[in-house]
Amino acid sequence: MITATALHGCSLIDGTWIPGTNGEITGFDPRTNARLEPSYSLASSAQLRKATTAAKRAFQSYRLTSPELRADFLNSIADNIDALTEEIVQRASLETGLTPARLTGEVARTSNQLRLFATTVKSGEFHRVRIERGPRVDLRQRHIPLGPVAVFGASNFPLAFSTAGGDTASALAAGCPVVFKAHNAHPGTAELVGQAVLGAVEKHGLDAGVFNLVYGRGVEIGQELAADPAIQAIGFTGSRQGGLALMHTAFNRPVPVPVFAEMSATNPVFVFPGALADLESSTSLAAAFTASITGSSGQLCTKPGLVFVPRGVAGDAFVQLVASEFAGTTGQTMLTKGIAEAWQRGVDNLEKQPGVGIRAHGKPGAGENAPGPVVFESDIQTLLNNAVLQEEIFGAASLIVRYDSPEQLHEAALVLEGQLTATIHSSQDDFGEVTQLIPLLEDLAGRILFGGWPTGVEVGHAVIHGGPFPATSNAQSTSVGTLAIERFMRPISYQSFPAELLPDPVSDPNKWAVPREIDR
């Protein structure tokens, strides 16, 4: 089992911690804006190329690893992360302001994701083998890994969407080495998890280039990674601006590569009259809505930023209940000073829009960067006429949109941008109208919920964390769940091959026991 060493304050390149030569950064405690030690040196362009070159070299051997070895490798990373839980949580709390309880849960989610992908690798289903032994030719199809993947750490999940998070886990499971760009807001957390991955690489005798961890200036190093010919795919979670910049560079390379970017969403919630039929239902719904907005200071990609509420007595009562809930809230520390400032700009911009007003405002929290949650109110016609009302505000803020008829919900669903989620609250009495709305929501979002709230994403086989643009850059994929492995693979077919030359997944002996479709 791994034991962390002191923080190195530099990049992990081809198995070695190498000081950078391109300046330095430090983390900051967002509760006080105090600088955290150690400082982290930033990789130069030449050092970054060394990392991508190592990943390209490692691909040739790592792609051929057996299911047992690859699964054991993923499980070892998970074991090492669990062994470092206390140190990881302590450092991550300093760098993000998130509570130890939240971070402890995120450590468990991170290691559980890795173990889930280990199970996926052993099952072999991701090979998607099809065999046709036709009368004229013998055709055998499987999926193979793309090559080295560049992964960018997310600001709001320093573990589950970071160093060994979902993108890294799914890429490694697919057989792709990873060059990971650490988020500059939590460099120490990234290094601790990087040590856990390095320990697993060394334990299993893998090529050191299988995992590289680099620090650099966000825009500069991001563009270099996206343009590097060794990189064959990109996983990104962050702003629309950042995702679009990576997409532009990756798509305009001499040989374009896919970018799987999760960017922005407002995750609309459609409340039908039946959900507000009595005071108990309305009170429970208002409390759950407020909790979904304010949890983690609203810094979740699935936060419900738009909630459609019917006009009338029941709707008015619900909005008043929400206002009372929000008025009693206290702000939580946001991840960085920059994110808190961006939240304030978004709130100020929405407040000055015609037809929009603040319904309730919570109290600021103690310390720095902890603004009070805000809930706005407007109407559906204003939303339809003003695209600003659709813009994501990353943090504890949401907009209640009042509507007069179910037909207006259809109009809204047709004009809203692509979303990660869409949520329905109704009673059985509303099912006729709900049935008509569902096909529109299928075109709008990657995950549709009935009841509940979209914050909190289950990690499993059937989940989709993705959606039409601009929620993501590729609506055919997911960044959470075992289907995520398919982002970093492509199909290939073998025609009329001698049995001796067939790769194991498509060979007749099938020693890996891969599930297969034969002569369907």
At 392-451, the pLDDT tens digits run: 999 999 999 999 999 999 999 999 999 999 999 999 999 999 999 999 999 999 999 999
Tell me the average pLDDT across 17-38. Answer: 97
If 0-12 CB within 10 Å is exposed, 13-18 middle and 19+ buried, where does residue 123 land? middle
| Helices (runs of H) and strands (runs of E) counted in the chain | 14, 22
Q: Which residues pair with 307 in a beta bridge?
A: 269, 400
Contacts of 347 (CB under 8 A, 6+ apart): 371, 374, 393, 397
Residue 176 annotated in active site? no
Tell me the average pLDDT across 354-373. Answer: 96
* 63 pLDDT above the threshold of 70: yes
Question: Which one from 95, 106, 224, 262 is the annotated catalytic residue?
Answer: 262
pLDDT of residue 85: 97
pLDDT, mean over the chain: 96
Residues 117-152 have pLDDT tens digits of: 999 999 999 999 999 998 889 999 999 999 999 999
Contacts of 382 (CB under 8 A, 6+ apart): 353, 354, 355, 356, 389
Instruction: Give the residue range(s) of CATH 3.40.605.10 domains in the chain.
Output: 14-236+246-261+474-506
Question: Which one from 191, 301, 325, 433 is the annotated catalytic residue?
Answer: 301
Instruction: Give the residue range(s) of CATH 3.40.309.10 domains in the chain.
Output: 269-450
d(CA 33, CA 44) in angstroms, rounded, equals: 27
pLDDT of residue 4: 62
Cα angle for residues 364, 365, 368 (degrees, 5° grid): 100
What's the CATH superfamily of 269-450? Aldehyde Dehydrogenase; Chain A, domain 2 (3.40.309.10)
Per-residue confidence at 520, pLDDT binned at 50, 70, 90? confident
Of 85, 49, 475, 418, residue with least CA distance to 228: 49
The helix (H) or strand (E) run that includes residue 86 is helix 85-96
* pTM recorded for the entire structure: 0.96
Residues 195-235 have pLDDT tens digits of: 999 999 999 999 999 999 999 988 899 999 999 999 999 99
- Concatenating the DSSP letter of every residue in 460-518 gives SSS-----STTSBS-TT--SSSGGGGGGGEEEEEEES--GGGS-GGGSSS-TT---EEE
Residue 392 annotated in active site? no
Task: Report the CATH fold assignment for 14-236+246-261+474-506.
Answer: Aldehyde Dehydrogenase; Chain A, domain 1 (3.40.605)
Per-residue confidence at 456, pLDDT binned at 50, 70, 90? confident
d(CA 140, CA 211) in angstroms, rounded, equals: 31
pLDDT of residue 218: 80
Of 262, 320, 332, residue with least CA distance to 291: 332
Indicate the SS3 state at residue 104.
helix
